[in-house]
Chains A and B, each alone.
Chain A
Amino acid sequence: AQSVAQPEDQVNVAEGNPLTVKCTYSVSGNPYLFWYVQYPNRGLQFLLKYITGDNLVKGSYGFEAEFNKSQTSFHLKKPSALVSDSALYFCAVRDSGNQAGTALIFGKGTTLSVSS
């Protein structure tokens, strides 16, 4: 079975500092990995994805994520946080070998709070 863990319910960081939001996953085959962001009263917005290739993936709004197969992790990072980055972040995974269904499985989410 596929699963995603986001070990931190909340991450607090000062504006201008680097941020990391952690994600680990479990799939039986090769993973397809995603990060989404949710602002209050809004749907989820796509940030970036890892399908194959370079382990460092760059996405929207200056975010990037590093795929680490040996640690089964896909942490979200940004070199310099903005107050406007404050939101709820979701990591999601899909097993590339699962042909029966293609649903993404989401972690419980991490609230990022950036203080000025």
Chain B
Amino acid sequence: DSGVTQTPKHLITATGQRVTLRCSPRSGDLSVYWYQQSLDQGLQFLIQYYNGEERAKGNILERFSAQQFPDLHSELNLSSLELGDSALYFCASSERPMTGRYSYGYTFGSGTRLTVV
């Protein structure tokens, strides 16, 4: 157990629907990162939050949004789902924004496998 908890582990939904993926970071970690892993695109960075605030955006679609709550858990909302959104969605956490010498890398959750049918 890495300490990063993602729920649900599996999700099957229909096109056009909306889903919410949840992530609880490792205890003490303030940063949360969301990644999408698909066979053709590899591991794509979506968005980062630090202590409740958005810090950086990557290749996140406008149909997707995220937030980090005061208890530091994060949710990734995916709406108007398309077949191409089927992927593994990973959450990772780290202690701080990894500035300077504190760049210790991330701890990953085990992911949520989303299947859009």
Which residues in A have some Cβ–Cβ distance to B below 8 Å?
32, 34, 36, 41-46, 49, 51-52, 90, 92, 94, 96, 99-109
A43, B99: Cβ atoms closer than 8 Å: no
CA–CA, A100 to B48, complex, Å? 11
Residues on B with C-beta less than 8 A from A106 are 35, 42-43, 45
If A43-B111, A90-B43, A109-B43 touch, whether A102 touches B56 (CB-CB below 8 Å) is yes
Which residues in B have some Cβ–Cβ distance to A below 8 Å?
2, 4, 31, 33, 35, 42-43, 45, 48, 55-58, 90, 92, 94, 97-99, 101, 103-111
A101, B108: Cβ atoms closer than 8 Å: no
- Closest Cβ of chain A to B16, distance in Å, is 28
What is the interface of chain A mostly: helix, strand, loop, or mixed? loop
B97, A49: Cβ atoms closer than 8 Å: no
If A43-B4, A103-B33, A104-B45 touch, whether A34 touches B105 (CB-CB below 8 Å) is yes
What are 19 of the A-B contact pairs (CB < 8 Å)?
A32-B98, A32-B103, A42-B110, A43-B90, A44-B92, A44-B106, A46-B105, A46-B107, A51-B101, A52-B101, A94-B103, A96-B103, A102-B55, A102-B56, A102-B103, A103-B56, A104-B106, A106-B42, A108-B42
Residues on B with C-beta less than 8 A from A105 are 45
Residues on A with C-beta less than 8 A from B45 are 103-106
If A44-B108, A45-B108, A96-B103 touch, whether A102 touches B31 (CB-CB below 8 Å) is yes
7 interchain residue pairs of minimum CB distance: A101-B56, A43-B108, A108-B42, A102-B98, A106-B43, A44-B108, A43-B110
CA–CA, A36 to B35, complex, Å? 14
Residues on A with C-beta less than 8 A from B90 are 43-44
Residues on A with C-beta less than 8 A from B58 are 103
List 20 additional A-B contacts (Cβ < 8 Å) besides A45-B108, A105-B45, A106-B45. A32-B98, A41-B110, A43-B2, A43-B90, A43-B108, A43-B110, A44-B90, A46-B105, A51-B101, A52-B101, A92-B105, A100-B56, A101-B48, A101-B57, A102-B48, A102-B55, A102-B97, A103-B48, A107-B42, A109-B42
